[in-house]
Homo-oligomer: A and B are copies of this chain.
């Protein structure tokens, strides 16, 4: 328990310090709304927090790993002190394996508070009770993270404050007050927190069931628990990088005079003319009501019975403990068993009901879009660019940032159903300017994470992709290769060492395979491809004078693919109408869009950046589902 004096006296690596009397009070900014110090403010200081030794603070977070050091020699002697520092942190699972009986008992007493009446377990219990009366004193060392930064804070807790079994399991939430001190066991930590008061403990109820009880789970496995993932160091880092990229995006557009416009998610138009869309509707509710009327089982509620079981169990336990009224106990046990039977019966029934509800509505349903909520068909938007154009045609440079949707059944590691897009639209701009702006944005974002997310990038470099920093740096400094589509086709046609699934011919849409080959193998840097055949691009792209190609471009980045797709859009009404007609699109829907050409049209261009792809690019992660908080893909929408 080092005092402030001791700290300043022994501060060798710490910056120059004044004598104790003059010592300025160290600055620890409080997290304004939570009465705790955010770990980042301690651990990302240049002195690692050393200058704060002796300060009393409150911190909160989740236990990532822990170890216990016993003070009295245990039956099987263990090496002490220094020797201890040699062995690795125990994961909670290791603890569970080696010390299961003790832990289980501790949890019985402190965690659950319930006792079993069975003889065998009572024996164990009595043994424990003895230990509680004469507890083995120990010191618990926790590694605690609060998600604000990569490193953890070492927190020391004496067993006299809280039983080790309650606090050591990974995932446990702690809010503790204590003093910052130099670590008793100098290792990788510059400081540790000596706990003096445990303000809150959020226990882990059943450690075996806690998904993150195992260390270093692969990202693929973590996808099953989107709600716990951010507690892992990797997903926390990704989240912080994602946050930084969001901030950088707004910063870029703000600095370049773009106005932010929120385009609608519910639309009546197909913004591309060929996308698979989700319907937004309230018709299904109506149809369900119609076909399920008279199907009500009414009144039976499994949940209420479960609660009743819990109450009745408590009562049985209570009666057992007091032991005063045997008859009442018997009656209570009988009552409990009866309720349990009912519950299991109902559970079975409910399962069947659930199944049949999902399975089919046997009664045929009719529907009519005039009865729908909006009195017409509405969809989730696939792109906000059409709506954004309307604002560009009034305010100049505008951008949008929001979720976009595709109901594709073929999905890849780079495409899910709900993705966030950054979209920009510029009045009085042509293809060239859109390419410039898109390039600048991309470079700005890469530069930003390198400069602002240094700690997270270091972690990502170590754990995810060792070449990520070099790749980002070269992306910032290199000039992108810029080639027309026809040249890309020529170049790909000359490739002998690889056979593409889709044969390379003028007119094909470039596949991910083609794009990868160009960026990864041929040019080894980002490639901008422009002037695509009109057939492979949306109807609104401006037709070039050759009558065959349109003023669209894609920016293909090595390893990630087409991060940005952009275009100069058709400002002339005739070619636009012709295109709508050729594609057989319902022209009535686009009247408002055509209006923009009828009244004061001008050249304009824009692009959209796949924000989730940008996070892949910045982190080196390869599957988009690992960088989206709650990913949605074909057949999968948990949470």
Contact = CB atoms under 8 A, between A and B. Distances in A.
Interface of A: 31-36, 38, 40, 60-63, 146-148, 171-173, 175, 200, 202-206, 209-210, 225-231, 236, 239-240, 242-243, 246-247, 250, 254, 256-257, 259-269, 276, 278-285, 287, 301, 303-304, 306-307, 354, 358-362, 364-370, 373-376, 378, 380, 387, 390-391, 393-397, 402-403, 405, 407, 409, 417-418, 420, 426-429, 433-434, 436-437, 440, 571, 577-578, 580-581, 584, 587-588, 592-593, 595-596, 598-603, 628-630, 632, 634-639
A568 to B, nearest CB: 12
A303 B587 contact: yes
Contact of A600 (B35, B171, B592): B171
A367 B284 contact: yes
A31 B250 CA distance: 17
A601 B205 CA distance: 10
Contacts of A628: 262
A20 B292 CA distance: 86
A426 B34 contact: yes
A550 to B, nearest CB: 19
A279 B285 contact: yes
A230 B395 contact: yes
Select the residue from A260, A362, A588 with max chain B CB neighbours within 10 A. A260
Contacts of A436: 32-33
A528 B571 CA distance: 51
B206 A598 contact: yes
Contact of A34 (B239, B429, B577): B429
A596 B202 CA distance: 10
A230 B34 contact: no
B62 A394 contact: yes
30 contacts: A31-B257, A32-B257, A33-B256, A33-B434, A34-B428, A38-B257, A146-B427, A147-B394, A147-B396, A148-B395, A171-B600, A173-B601, A204-B599, A206-B598, A209-B598, A230-B391, A230-B394, A261-B629, A265-B403, A266-B632, A266-B637, A279-B282, A287-B367, A303-B587, A304-B581, A354-B588, A365-B365, A365-B366, A373-B409, A402-B402
Q: Is the contact region of chain A dominated by helix, strand, or loop, or is it mixed?
A: mixed
A376 B358 contact: yes
B280 A278 contact: yes
The 4 A-B residue pairs whose C-beta atoms are closest, nearest first, are A147-B395, A364-B364, A303-B581, A173-B600
A147 to B, nearest CB: 3
A257 B402 contact: no
Contacts of A393: 173, 231
Select the residue from A146, A172, A429, A632 with max chain B CB neighbours within 10 A. A632
Given A358-B376, A387-B630, A396-B148, A595 B227 contact: yes
B603 A200 contact: yes
A403 to B, nearest CB: 5
Contact of A240 (B243, B259, B276, B417): B259
A400 to B, nearest CB: 9
Contacts of A600: 62-63, 171-173, 202-204
Contact of A592 (B283, B285, B361, B638): B638
A175 B602 contact: yes
Nearest to A350: B588
Given A62-B394, A368-B361, A256 B427 contact: no
Contact of A365 (B63, B240, B282, B367): B367
A284 B371 CA distance: 14
A226 B403 CA distance: 21
Given A38-B396, A580-B303, A426 B365 contact: no
Contacts of A256: 32-33
B358 A370 contact: yes
Contact of A417 (B61, B148, B373, B595): B373
A230 B390 contact: yes
A635 B374 contact: yes
Contacts of A33: 256, 397, 426, 429, 433-434, 436-437
Contacts of A584: 301
Given A205-B599, A602-B60, A373 B407 contact: yes
A260 B250 CA distance: 12
B268 A60 contact: no
Contacts of A287: 367
Contacts of A599: 171, 202, 204-205, 210, 228
B365 A437 contact: no
Contacts of A592: 225-227, 638-639
A304 B584 CA distance: 9
Given A202-B599, A263-B630, A361-B366, 10 more contacts: A60-B602, A239-B395, A243-B261, A354-B588, A360-B368, A362-B366, A364-B366, A374-B637, A387-B630, A390-B639
A637 B378 contact: yes
A428 B36 contact: yes
A359 B148 CA distance: 55
A148 to B, nearest CB: 6
A348 to B, nearest CB: 15
